[in-house]
Each structure stands twice: as C-alpha cells, then as structure tokens.
Amino acid sequence: MTDELAAPTPAEREPVEPELVESESGRSESGKPQSGKPRMRADAKRNTEQIRRAAIDAFRGRGLAVPLEDVAKAAGVSKATVFNRFGGRIGLIEAVIEELVAAELYAIVDHARTIANAGERIAYYLAAIRELQYRQPAVNDVLLQMYPESQQLMAICHVAGEFNAELIAAGHASGELRAEFRTDDLEALVHDSALALKYGTRPPVADYDRRTTFLLDGIRRPRE
C-alpha cells in the first residue's frame, strides 16, 4: 500500500491525479496480486518514507506552510527529491494529512458522537477541537482551507462542517444551546480561533483554556 500512496515518479508526474485514482481503484479491487516486482528502487522507497516522516514532524510543529527546503533537509535529501517523489507541497500534504490531522480530528468527532447529552457533547467537542487547534498548527491550516487544491484536506473540512451542523441541531433539539446560536456561528468561532492562533501569539495554555470556558458559557441557553 505504501508503494501506491507514494508520490509518482518523475516520469509519471504529469498525470498525478489519474495515477492516484488508478492506484486507488487497483487497491479497492480485491484480487490484485501484490507479489509483483517492486516498482520503486530501494533508495527511492527509503527516501520517500524519510521525506514523509520529516514532513509529518515539520508540519506538526509549524503547520503546513513549512518551507519544503526545511522538510528536505530534515529528511536528508535535496529539495528536488521532494518534488520528484511527491510533486510538491500538495502531494506531500496528501501523503501525510490522514496521519497528521484526520486521525485525531475524526477521533474527536467519533468520541463526541458517543456522548448522549447534547450540551455535554457540544462542550466536549468545542474544548477538544480548540485544544487540538492549540497544539497542532496543521489543524488550523486545514480548517482554514489554506490549500484547497488538496482533496484530502478539503474532505476533512467537509466532515468537520457536517459535524458542526449535527451538533447545533442536537443542541437546539435538547434546548441546551441558545436558540440564536447557529451552525455558522460555531464555524466562525472555530475559524476565528484558527486565525488567531495562526497569525497571532499563542497564549499560555491556562489562559487559552479559560477563554474556552467563556466561549462555552456564552453559547449556552440561559437558565430561567
């Protein structure tokens, strides 16, 4: 599977999308023999994985806009090799975004869905998503759709967006969420956090968490 997910070789670079689609189809169809000879040299395979790991580390600490030169250096290869193996930044993002962002984000969504009480579900989700945003700059790049050419990035946003709507509906149905607080308000709230973290100074964690509390209290339905 790693072979198919690796960036196309230089010869295949132009039809990047068709190649990936083709690989996906091939993987989806059972019965395809995996015993064929490897399509990538050992050094290329090794480099690809090193670049992938270096990208995950770099993106994790500094977000998706890290200079590719830095990723290459951390992987011990030249920048041109990053282009050769992954086609560029988008290809690199596509290769790591599942492990880097989607896994954790979807885990939060999945866990939230197990919480029966709507008010608690919203409180859990908002706190968890904000904590993830605080800790993971790449998450903010995703939520802000900084690289819309990345299909996987956009798919993650789509999932998060749908869950926002789900949360709001449940909160209103249960009466625990103030009536005027809408899906786009929740989206703006998360989006503004992303912008503040991306372009501002990250505050001490205690301050940040305290402010999550204020936000939550501002969207609860007042008790009569």
- Site residues (CB under 8 A) for a copy of itself? 178, 180-181, 184-185, 188-189, 191-193, 195-196, 198-200, 203, 207, 210-211, 213-219, 222
Stretch in the footprint of DNA (CB under 7 A) among 7-15, 153-161, 179-187, 202-210:
7-15
Stretch in the footprint of DNA (CB under 7 A) among 53-61, 85-93, 190-198, 213-221:
85-93
Tokens of 10: 């230089």
Question: Min. distance of Cβ 201 from DNA in angstroms?
Answer: 19
- The CA distance from 189 to 95, in Å, is 29
* Rounded CA Rg of the chain: 20
Q: Name which of 140, 47, 62 is nearest 95 in CA terms.
A: 47
* Site membership for DNA, residue 9 (CB under 7 A): yes
Give burial (CB, 10 Å; 0-12/13-18/19+) of 173: exposed
Residue with Cβ nearer a copy of itself (43 or 207): 207
Question: Min. distance of Cβ 82 from DNA in angstroms?
Answer: 8
* Site membership for DNA, residue 207 (CB under 7 A): no
Q: Does residue 208 sit in helix, strand or coil?
A: helix
What is the size of the binding site for DNA (CB under 7 A)?
A: 27
Residue with Cβ nearer a copy of itself (155 or 188): 188
Q: Which of DNA, a copy of itself, none has residue 133 at its interface (CB below 5 to 8 Å by kind)?
A: none
- The CA distance from 27 to 86, in Å, is 19
Give me the count of residues in the chain. 224
Which residue type sits at 11? A
- The CA distance from 73 to 54, in Å, is 9
Residue with Cβ nearer DNA (68 or 177): 68
Q: Which of DNA, a copy of itself, none has residue 203 at its interface (CB below 5 to 8 Å by kind)?
A: a copy of itself
* Site membership for DNA, residue 97 (CB under 7 A): no
Tokens of 60: 């994790």
